[in-house]
Structure 1
Amino acid sequence: MELLLLSNSTAFGRKYLEHALEPISEALGGTKEVLFVPFALADHDGYTSEAAEALAPLGVKVRGAHTGNSVDLVKDAEAIFIGGGNSFRLLKALHAQGLVPVIRDRIRGGVPYMGSSAGTNMACPTLRTTNDMPIVQPTTFDALSLVPFQINPHYVERSPDSTHMGETRSKRLEEFLEENDVPVVAMREGTWLRRSADRLALGGSEAGGVLFRRGSSPVQLRRNADLSDLLEVPARFDL
């Protein structure tokens, strides 16, 4: 499989996808047209236009998955890009349109896949480590399972001088691990995961990320960390 999983699609002071054009070009590997899945946002036309404008400098055309029979479009796609937004709305749409098994089969068959934020969540076995509000109810939390571990995009830690007493992101991930035995890669802004066949690495910003495992202390991940071993770790849910 060829995967590029972005924590975020827009970096501070940069245009949509501008901070990641180089890894996007590498991941697409000469692909001339990308099927964009805009279902995480309500404005499908506007979102698709934004993706098309962002990828134009790479000479890549963009077609929206909403512009025809979505299953047929996925079956014919050279590459697939699922954009960010609300991951509950996104997953509900993917299941409602019968896209989950079709996308999974295409990607496992070698079609390049790119996700950002909610689209990155979709690459996991389940939705459970998203940050989003459940504004709709999917029929199931089961996602694409393109990787066997979980991801938490947009990972942030509470500032030491903060007086906020609510749950931190790390606390929520620890609660997830109390019920499930699945590694979680928490990705800070500006980072991405790049999978090529059986190799997996963390790229992007120097900020890196954090690896959470059940029964272990969180491990800080540096840029270019080799995470290939996570592709072989079994996932156990609802313990």
Structure 2
Amino acid sequence: MRLLLLSNSTAPGHGYLEHAREEIADFLDGTRRLAFVPYAGADHDGYTAQVTRALAPLGVEVTGVHTGSRPAEVVADADAVFVGGGNSFRLLSALHHHGLVDAIRARVGAGAGYMGSSAGTNMACPTLRTTNDMPIVQPPTFDALHLVPFQINPHYLDPAPDSSHMGETRAQRIAEFHQENDVAVLGLREGTWLRATDDGLTLGGIEAGAVLFERGREPVEHRPGADLTRLLRTPAVFDSADR
């Protein structure tokens, strides 16, 4: 298993994927053919063109899975798969509709790299239940790719002490998740990412790092370079109503 899971694809003052350029270049080293999954957005051709431009300096050939009559075959022929950000509900619905959940899991299990950003990072989890997105469509199930056994909250925002907003903070929403589910949730702040192999899980990115939420425990801050391998070894327990 080789995973690169980005919290975000664009950072202030940087072009698309530029803030993680070195990490992406290292992750995709040796990759010739990359299957891009654009279904989190509405303009599949435009989204694929954006990814193609961003990865052109790496010598990677990008093919949008939507360009073939059988998207799963595009995945099967790729050295790596990149699932882009956008709306997680629309993305997961399309993954199930096009038979890509099993196809991606099989290809990654056979050694292909998986790169996700935002919604694409959500998809690497067992379920999309920790997304920030509005359910603009209804997927057949919340079950996602389950490439890792824990949950991620991309774009994690810390509570603003001076804010007059009366809605739940991200931390409160994750606490509600833990009222029903016993599985770790890693809040990835902007500019951070996870790099995973069969043997380990490491946090990378900006100094702000990430915060780990676990049921019955106080949140724990982690900085870039943190070894989070134990999260790969901890089984997830979900509410039985949906799983």
TM-score tier by shorter-chain length is over 0.9
SS in 2 for 1:210: strand
Compute the displacement of 1:120 (Å). 0.2
Please identify, of 117-126 and 97-106, the stretch whose mean Cα deviation from structure 2 is larger.
97-106
CA distance, structure 1, for counterparts of residue 21 and residue 62 of structure 2: 15
Deviations 1:108-152 (A, max 9, x none): 111001000000000000010000000000000000000000000
For residues 155-194 of structure 1, give each alpha carbon's deviation from its aligned partner in whole angstroms, at most 9, with x where no partner exists: 0012211111111000000000110000001000000000
Relative to structure 2, which stretch is displaced further, 30-39 or 88-97?
A: 30-39
Q: Which residue of 1 aligns with 2:101?
A: 100
Q: 2: distance between equivalents of 1:183 and 1:108?
A: 23
Which amino acid in the other structure matches residue 179 of structure 1? E
Please name the residue that 1:89 is paired with: 90
2:54 corresponding residue in structure 1: 54
Aligned pairs for 1:124-203 within 5 A: 124-203=125-204
Between the aligned partners of 1:36 and 1:58, the Cα distance in structure 2 is 15
Rounded to whole Å, the distance in 1 between the matches of 2:184 and 2:29 is 29
CA distance in 2, matches of 1:167, 1:229: 29
Stretches of structure 2 that go unaligned for 5 or more consecutive residues are none
Point out where structure 1 has 5 or more consecutive residues left out of the alignment: none
CA distance in 1 between partners of 2:211 and 2:159 (Å): 14
In structure 2, what is the Cα distance between the partners aligned to 1:23 and 1:126?
Answer: 26
Give me the TM-score of the superposition, normalised by structure 2. Answer: 0.97
Aligned counterpart, 2:5: 5
Report the count of equivalent residues: 239
CA RMSD, aligned part only? 0.8
Deviations along 1:2-23, one digit per CA (max 9) or x if unpaired, are: 0000000000010000111111
Distance in 1 between residues matched to 2:49 and 2:192, nearest whole Å: 24
In the alignment, which residue of structure 2 is the partner of 1:232? 233
**1:63-100 residue CA offsets vs partner (Å, 9 max, x unmatched):** 10000020111111111000000000000000011110
Residue matched to 1:34: 34
Instruction: Give the superposition deviation at 1:29.
Output: 2.5
Runs of 4+ in 1 over 3 A off after TM superposition: none
> 2:108, 2:94 → 1: CA distance?
18
Which residue is 1:221 aligned to? 222
User: 1:61 deviation in Å?
Assistant: 1.8
How high is the TM-score relative to the length of structure 1? 0.98
| Distance in structure 1 (CA, Å) of the matches to 2:166 and 2:67 | 46
Seq. identity, %? 66
Deviation at 1:196, TM superposition (A): 1.9
Indicate the SS of the match to 1:113: strand
